[in-house]
Amino acid sequence: MHFISGNQIQLLRSGIEYFPALEHAIDHAQHDIYIQTYIYEADEIGTRIGNAMINAVNRGVSVYLLIDGFGSKTLPKTYIESLESAGVNVMVYRQKISPWTFKKNRLRRLHQKVAVIDGIVAFVGGINIIDDHNVPHQTAPRIDYAVRVQGALLPTISNNVKKLWQRLAWLHFHSKPVLTPDTHAPVHSTKESIKAAFVTRDNILHRRDIEAAYLKAIHSAKHEIMIANAYFIPGRRFRKALISAAKRGVKVKLLLQGRKEYFLMFATHAFYHVFLKNGIEIYEYRKSFMHSKVAVIDQEWATIGSSNIDPFSLFLAREANIIVKDKYFATTLHQDILTAIHDGAYEIKVNDWAKGNIAKRFLSWVAYGLVRLFLGIIGYADQH
């Protein structure tokens, strides 16, 4: 992980701030646009972004859209064809999905959400191309985060995105952009001069990079660790690091999803007792649907991205996070998480949990047992 100074980084809160910023960047693109997303829905937001991409093509801009085959499985084929017929290059990551056959590589999804425009502005975060109010069986709108990045970190982000497209294009016999340096992209520092790193997770050279970045920051924490994560099923090393931090006097706060989408999300509850017993504060966000994947440590270190703290993100999926070392940025995100805690979260108390519903605790261990079984099947049980 390499931190680079000279960046301008803007925090974007949920779709209400993210989509107008992304759309504005697309509308002003002159050379090329790369967008990677796990979920793309043909709802109001997806249609807006799709129209912006088509308009860019009509201006002579090359547009490359990469979507995940599972996350975007409900996207109509006719919609994809309409984008392609308009000149948008579309690829589907691991498109073949079958409930009747099990192949480990099909679990390795494209979960990162990155956009790069002209090599001069990038967006990285946890926000899919989907309307914030499109949350079936949940209270809308969802809360999530992304960042808008300009400055010296752009070549790193741009090269990562372009290389992935080129690699997949060879496999798909698809249109292959020529990987040339972004000569139109300034690499000098911006006036804000924020220090940041672009950290990815893949299944080749960067399997543990995001987890390692988290663990390094947690081990060096002196005052406070605040994590807001929608899908939180940490492995042994992560759990031990948090407990160790709490034991040495660091205040540890977890803001977790209070509304369960899937049965396996109950596995998170399996850790509640040991965390609470060691002084870790746990809050469940229940006001609406929380999709955040962010953290702030000592109000100096912050991360925003696509990576959850669960086996899917840490062992299988392609993920991308931005890590920022800047007091003002970290303090801003810290305050945002605090606001979410105060306005929409319920604190889980150790006594309440210990005396709570026995059936609920049993359910959590059944869910965690299934997670462990799944990890054993794919060969990762010893790492969790």
Nearest one of 295, 273, 290, 291 to 282, comparing CA atoms: 273
Q: What is the pTM of this model?
A: 0.92
Is residue 298 annotated as part of the catalytic site, yes or no? yes
Of 32, 68, 111, 182, the active-site residue reads 111
Is residue 293 annotated as part of the catalytic site, yes or no? yes
Q: Looking at residues 218-225, what average pLDDT do you find?
A: 98
Domains within the chain, CATH numbers bracketed: 4-172 (3.30.870.10), 198-383 (3.30.870.10)
Of 32, 68, 113, 336, the active-site residue reads 113
227 — pLDDT class (breaks 50, 70, 90)? very high
374 — pLDDT class (breaks 50, 70, 90)? confident
Of 32, 131, 144, 298, the active-site residue reads 298
Is residue 251 annotated as part of the catalytic site, yes or no? no
% of the chain with per-residue pLDDT over 70: 89
188 — pLDDT class (breaks 50, 70, 90)? very low
Sign of CA dihedral 297, 317, 13, 2: positive
Each residue's pLDDT tens digit, 27-64: 999 999 999 999 999 999 999 999 999 999 999 999 99
Nearest one of 189, 191, 170 to 179, comparing CA atoms: 170
Of 162, 269, 291, 384, the active-site residue reads 291
Judged against a pLDDT cut of 80, whether residue 219 lies above it is answered with yes
Is residue 68 annotated as part of the catalytic site, yes or no? no
Each residue's pLDDT tens digit, 264-310: 788 889 899 999 999 999 999 999 999 999 999 999 999 999 999 99
- Which two three-digit tokens encode residue 161? 């995105």
Q: Report pLDDT for 190.
A: 47
Of 253, 293, 334, 384, the active-site residue reads 293
Instruction: Please provide the average confidence, as pLDDT, over all residues in the chain.
Output: 90
